Structure 1
Amino acid sequence: MNTLIAFYQNIGPALSLLVFLTFLLAGAVKGVIGLGLPTIAMGLLGLAMAPAQAAALLIVPSTLTNLWQLAAGGHLLALLRRLGPMLVMIVLGTLLGSAWLGINNGPWAAQALGAALLAYSVYGLVGRGFQVPPAWEVWLGPVCGLVTGVVTAATGVFVMPAVPFLQSLGLSRDEMIQALGLSFTVSTLALAVGLAGQDALGGQALGASLLMLAPALLGMLAGQWLRQRISAALFKRCFFVGLAVLGGHLLVNG
């Protein structure tokens, strides 16, 4: 138990409250639109702590909420066969990126995070849907996986370009939700291995991350309740606008 709370004793009550509220909000966003937990967590926590520290905190909540999302639907085996090459390259790209770049405390780390958030928000706001021809999927999937892995290793954000690629495959709603859960689960686990290799994911960090599972799940349940009562399209637009502001701030000010 001492290991679980030592991290929050060290960072103080104000930052501990920020961490708690961040995961509550991130869980709620995921509950409404099916994604956004690590993106929100990295963006907001990146304002107050090093990206490596923020990434370590999201490992347990991101893994378990994505496994929850992954369990929904009956398309897992088919998706594993179809997305297997991309998922393998996500792991390879994350491990290579961790050895090459890593989420460190360098002056570029926060700017890289801001650039990733800004790129994703611009795509979410103005990107037009496109369909990948079956012949392209064979090679484009692994390429997107490799790039996603490197971006994950550098920023802790694993939505680009994996999410646009998955959205281009013509999946049904249930398949898409499960595919996102699968991609994000693999990315989170690969990121955990990369962080451990950089000595950024010890017992204290894992304990601190475990404590954030409760607000993330609470927020996710609240978001699922809220999804039935608001316009998901309007909520998603507001999400991307806020993410663009956040990403721009990190990009400019670091």
Structure 2
Amino acid sequence: MDGMVSELGLAGWGVLLTVGLGAGIVKGVVGFAMPMVMISALGSMVSPEVALAGLIIPTVVTNVWQALRQGIGAAWESTRRFWRFLLVGFVLLMGSAQLVPYLPKSLMSLMIGVPVAVYAAWGLSGRPLALPGASGRRGEAIMGAVAGFFAGFSGVWGPPTVAMLTARGTDMQEQMRVQGVIYGLGSVALAGAHLVSGVLNSATAPLSMALVLPALAGLWLGFRIQDRIDQRTFRKLTLLVLLIAGLNLIRRGVLAI
């Protein structure tokens, strides 16, 4: 960690903390995208493994807040309703997380950047984000498997989760809560998986902990914004940022090959 501090400098740390704040704001407004914003932005400054470690603890803490914002009873009902998605996602997450130390950095950047860019471009096209069959039990399990696989090596659950919820016709308030529950339980599993894989360790944990406060501040601001502005407009701006970030990761992955 000492080496990371001296290498980044005060300006670099200022950027990192700003990234945590911005990612928290985005999550507070739309309920997701915090890991995608953080892995994309942090990945431009540090290695993919360090970027992944950095987002783990802030993701756990902010998801707990989001999940419990409407009370423990509502959160438990969401857990009961989407247990298939959670169970299948957990199994795939634990397995794919062990691949991180063995994946080339260029491959990690491409595997994260491509789905982020495709998802953002699809959303910006104005087409409804719904997948055939995703509203049934089998579709829910399949989407859980996809989400868990990508979350294991990237920390990103958002796109397949949002697709599944949209296909089920989930209203906005419940979708915010359900996302908090799904991402919260998933992020706890992610933290455990990467304690085992070695990605989250004594050298990377301080960075992750340092990003907690700006992420919480951003989440608070995002919740305030969500109550006051047209969420559809802000979500389009968020998708544009994600598209740029995803394309940047693809660029880095291609250049590293």
Cα distance in 2 for residues equivalent to 1:91 and 1:41:
21
Indicate whether 1:37 and 2:34 are aligned. Answer: yes
Q: TM-score, normalised by structure 1?
A: 0.88
Shift of 1:196: 1.7
Q: Residue 103 of structure 1 contacts residue 155 of structure 1 at CA under 8 Å; is this kept in 2?
A: no
Q: Residue 51 of structure 1 contacts residue 156 of structure 1 at CA under 8 Å; is this kept in 2?
A: no
1:183 aligned residue: 182
Comparing 61-70 and 121-130, the one that deviates more: 121-130
2:246 aligned residue: 247
Shift of 1:132: 6.5
2:15 aligned residue: 18
* 1:5-38 deviation line (CA, Å, top 9, x unaligned): 7753454323212210100111111122222211
1:96 aligned residue: 95
Shift of 1:248: 1.3
* 1:123-178 deviation line (CA, Å, top 9, x unaligned): 322341448769x6211111111111111123221113122002222223322111
Aligned-pair identity (%)? 24
Aligned match of 1:50 in 33, 47, 50? 47
Cα distance in 2 for residues equivalent to 1:121 and 1:103:
28
1:157 aligned residue: 156
* 1:79-116 deviation line (CA, Å, top 9, x unaligned): 22221111011111111112345684532111112112
Q: Residue 56 of structure 2 contacts residue 155 of structure 2 at CA under 8 Å; is this kept in 1?
A: no
Summarize the Cα distance change of 1:101–1:202 in structure 2 as closer, same or farther, 3 Å threshold: closer
* Structure 2 unaligned residues grouped into runs of 5+: none
Summarize the Cα distance change of 1:35–1:95 in structure 2 as closer, same or farther, 3 Å threshold: same
2:84 aligned residue: 85
Q: Residue 53 of structure 2 contacts residue 204 of structure 2 at CA under 8 Å; is this kept in 1?
A: yes
1:114 aligned residue: 113
Q: TM-score, normalised by structure 2?
A: 0.87
* 1:185-230 deviation line (CA, Å, top 9, x unaligned): 1221222122222211113322321221111111122222333443
SS in structure 2 at match of 1:200: coil
SS in structure 1 at match of 2:82: helix
Cα distance in 2 for residues equivalent to 1:133 and 1:93:
20
Summarize the Cα distance change of 1:221–1:128 in structure 2 as closer, same or farther, 3 Å threshold: same
Cα distance in 2 for residues equivalent to 1:123 and 1:223:
24
Indicate whether 1:212 and 2:241 are aligned. Answer: no
- AA aligned to 1:243 is L
Cα distance in 2 for residues equivalent to 1:166 and 1:102:
32
Q: Residue 19 of structure 2 contacts residue 41 of structure 2 at CA under 8 Å; is this kept in 1?
A: yes
Aligned match of 2:69 in 67, 72, 75? 72
Comparing 6-15 and 20-29, the one that deviates more: 6-15
* Structure 1 unaligned residues grouped into runs of 5+: none
Summarize the Cα distance change of 1:137–1:177 in structure 2 as closer, same or farther, 3 Å threshold: same
Summarize the Cα distance change of 1:88–1:114 in structure 2 as closer, same or farther, 3 Å threshold: same
Summarize the Cα distance change of 1:159–1:131 in structure 2 as closer, same or farther, 3 Å threshold: closer
Cα distance in 1 for residues equivalent to 2:94 and 2:84:
16
Query: Aligned residue pairs: how many?
Result: 250
Cα distance in 2 for residues equivalent to 1:40 and 1:48:
13
Cα distance in 2 for residues equivalent to 1:228 and 1:100:
40
2:128 aligned residue: 128
SS in structure 2 at match of 1:49: coil
Q: Residue 52 of structure 1 contacts residue 195 of structure 1 at CA under 8 Å; is this kept in 2?
A: no
- AA aligned to 1:59 is I
Cα distance in 2 for residues equivalent to 1:231 and 1:31:
14
